[in-house]
Amino acid sequence: MIETKGLPRARRNVFAAVIALAGVLAAPFANADTVLVEAAPLISGTQSNVYSLTTPSAGSVSVSLTNLGWPDRLASLSFALATSSGVVKTFTGDTQSTFDLSTAGTYYAIVTGTAQGNWNLGMYSLRMSFSTLAAPSPVPLPGSALLLFSGLVAFRLTRWLS
């Protein structure tokens, strides 16, 4: 970490402005998955939960379904992804899987669980994220040059400030 406590206020402000500007300018080049569903509901008896999700384009969906075992482990846990015209994918039990969707649209994630134990209660965790299927794009030259330049400026500033 760079120590700026003993520096004059003007130099600290210049240093902070350069770092903030580099972050703002580099942000459009960042890429991340879109979280479609994140839930951890309580189940009593046998229960189904339906989650509606919309994908903006063809892409890849990652599903993580976990039986949390609290207060008791669920006796059964199943997952289905469907459209209005039919079932796309099904899983049973704890699942971590990734699969491709060929078209954009509205999908329905259906999770069914059966609780057991003294309280007849249980919980699961569901996380679904989406990323486009497009091939990774090369690092744009202006973005990489900007990052290199901001790093050199930050390096020069740290030498100037010390």
Please give the model's pTM, rounded to 2 decimal places: 0.64
Least confident of 51-65, 109-123, 133-147: 133-147
Which CATH fold would you assign to the domain 34-132?
Answer: Jelly Rolls (2.60.120)
Closest CA to 96 of 55, 135, 63, 57: 63
- Dig out the tokens for 57 from the structure: 């384009």
Residues 36 and 129 sit within 8 Å (Cβ to Cβ): yes
Domain definitions of the chain by residue range = 9-30+140-161, 34-132
pLDDT for residue 126: 96
pLDDT digits (tens, 9 = 90+) for 71-115: 999 999 999 999 999 999 999 999 899 989 989 999 999 999 999
70 contacts: CB under 8 Å, gap ≥ 6: 122, 123
pLDDT digits (tens, 9 = 90+) for 15-65: 555 555 555 455 444 445 788 899 999 999 999 999 999 998 899 999 999
Q: Tokens 């006796």 appear where?
A: 75
Query: Residue 138 pLDDT > 80, yes or no?
Result: no
Closest CA to 52 of 138, 137, 128, 119: 128
